[in-house]
């Protein structure tokens, strides 16, 4: 029942009648992604917004020296895309890869635009998503400005205990903005 989770997620914010529900679901399609497969590649158009039905994904970007920075991890029931490029029809600046064999429900940018035009009640749902995303990123900025590497690591563990099992140390380091070597040292010092 991939769509049950999706509906539940959206109905937290909007009450839907049968017609709206049917129309909404008609816009999503299911897509399986194998572990290590890329859902989005830097430079490609970013046409889809993804709901994680099952599995785990990661978005990251590369700087000019080839260093990876993880933007976010997405577990079950999370949404993920390269939001800036999705919203502005720009070529992607990020990669999105599957950390495990996963299943996503994807909606095309045009479909989302149509949805919001045809049924403006969905505006609220999307607004709340953006609100939450904004305040989450703002907290992350503050943490990056004020915390030491070790404190950032501790906070990540406390905030996202489920994510830690799905990712490598290198991926976590690239989310925290430190080197994998140094994260290794931090972990050793905890023992």
Burial class (CB within 10 angstroms; exposed 0-12, middle 13-18, buried 19+) of 105:
buried
Residue 67 CA to residue 138 CA, distance in Å, equals 23
| 3-class secondary structure, 1 | coil
CB of 135 to a second copy, least distance (A): 4
Binding string, residues 92-131; x marks residues near DNA by CB under 7 A: ----------------------------------------
CB of 31 to DNA, least distance (A): 20
- Is the CB of 92 or the CB of 183 nearer to DNA? 183
Q: Which of 29, 135, 144, 148 touches DNA by CB under 7 A?
A: 148
Query: Apex CA 161: angle with CA 107 and CA 137, to 5°?
Result: 55
Question: Is residue 181 at the binding interface for DNA, with CB under 7 A as the rule?
Answer: yes
Phi, psi of 36 (to 5 degrees): 75, -5
Would you tell me which residues interact with a second copy (CB under 8 A)?
Answer: 61, 63, 67, 69, 71, 83-84, 87, 116, 120-121, 123-124, 126-127, 130-131, 133-135, 137-142, 144-146, 174, 177
Residue 122 CA to residue 152 CA, distance in Å, equals 35
Question: Is residue 37 at the binding interface for DNA, with CB under 7 A as the rule?
Answer: no
Phi, psi of 165 (to 5 degrees): -70, -20
**What does the binding site for DNA look like in residue numbers (CB under 7 A)?**
35, 148-150, 168-170, 177-185, 187-188
């Amino acid at each position: 029942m991939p769509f049950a989770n999706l509906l539940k997620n959206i109905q937290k914010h909007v009450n839907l009648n049968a017609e709206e529900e049917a129309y909404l679901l008609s816009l999503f399609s299911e897509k399986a992604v194998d572990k290590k497969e890329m859902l989005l590649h830097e430079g490609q158009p970013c046409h889809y917004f993804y709901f994680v039905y099952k599995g785990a994904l990661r978005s990251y970007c590369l700087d000019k020296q080839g260093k990876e920075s993880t933007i976010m991890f997405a577990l079950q029931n999370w949404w993920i895309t390269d939001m800036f490029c999705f919203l502005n029809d720009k070529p992607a600046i990020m990669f999105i890869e599957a950390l495990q064999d996963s299943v996503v429900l994807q909606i095309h940018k045009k479909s989302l635009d149509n949805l919001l035009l045809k049924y403006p009640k969905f505006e609220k749902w999307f607004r709340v998503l953006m609100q939450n995303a904004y305040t989450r990123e703002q907290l992350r900025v503050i943490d990056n400005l004020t915390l030491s590497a070790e404190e950032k690591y501790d906070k990540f563990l406390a905030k996202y205990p489920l994510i830690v099992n799905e990712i490598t140390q290198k991926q976590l380091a690239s989310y925290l903005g430190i080197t994998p070597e140094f994260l290794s040292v931090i972990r050793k010092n905890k023992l």
